[in-house]
Structure 1
Amino acid sequence: MLGLGIIGWIIIGGLAGWIGSKIMGTDEQQGIVLNIVVGVVGGLLGGFLLSIFGVDVESAGWFFSFFTCLLGAVILLWIVNAVRSRT
């Protein structure tokens, strides 16, 4: 995923963060910048988790990178919602 460049990270991260927030029902709470941040951090989280299971995420391309970001974004939003509901 490092080969995507900064523009690729922003585009894929933004889309994945936005769709992830729709899936988790948090879209009303966040704007475009937070969607991008959630998507990019979700991509890092998803890439880390998939690499633990032996999945080659670096040479998979745009499509798989998007799903990696989406998976990570949903997991990240789930964790944030769990922490918020405890307080």
Structure 2
Amino acid sequence: MNLLTDYGILAWIIIGALAGALAKFIMPGRDPGGCMVTIALGIGGALLAGFIGNAIGWYDPGEGAGFIAAIVGAIIILFVYRLISRR
């Protein structure tokens, strides 16, 4: 049973919001956006972690990343954003 496939888009939004909020909590700073950007950050983090995990071989084809991996992916996205926005 996979939470994201069972509940669809609603699960992506909730998990994305939680993962994005935790990533922003772990890496505090001045980041733009409110709830929508936080949700997008978490969803993007999950997609990034799933893509990297599939490329490395940690996940089977079609298998998504877990919640912790989504947080790590969101942290990576925040880190890259901050590197780019400094310039």
Compute the RMSD of aligned alpha carbons: 2.2
- Consecutive unaligned residues in structure 2, runs of 5 or more: none
Structure 1 or 2: more helix by fraction? 1
Q: Percent identity?
A: 34
- The C-alpha deviation readout for 1:18-57, integer Å capped at 9, x for no partner, is 0001111137643111110000011111111111221126
**TM-score, length-scaled by structure 1:** 0.80
The answer to whether the 8 A contact 1:18-1:27 is kept is no
Unmatched runs of 5 consecutive residues or more in structure 1: none
Moved more, 20-29 or 46-55: 20-29
- Residue 78 (str. 1) matches residue 82 (str. 2): no
Greater Cα shift, 75-84 or 47-56: 47-56
Q: Give the count of matched residue pairs.
A: 82
Q: TM-score scaled to structure 2, two decimals?
A: 0.80
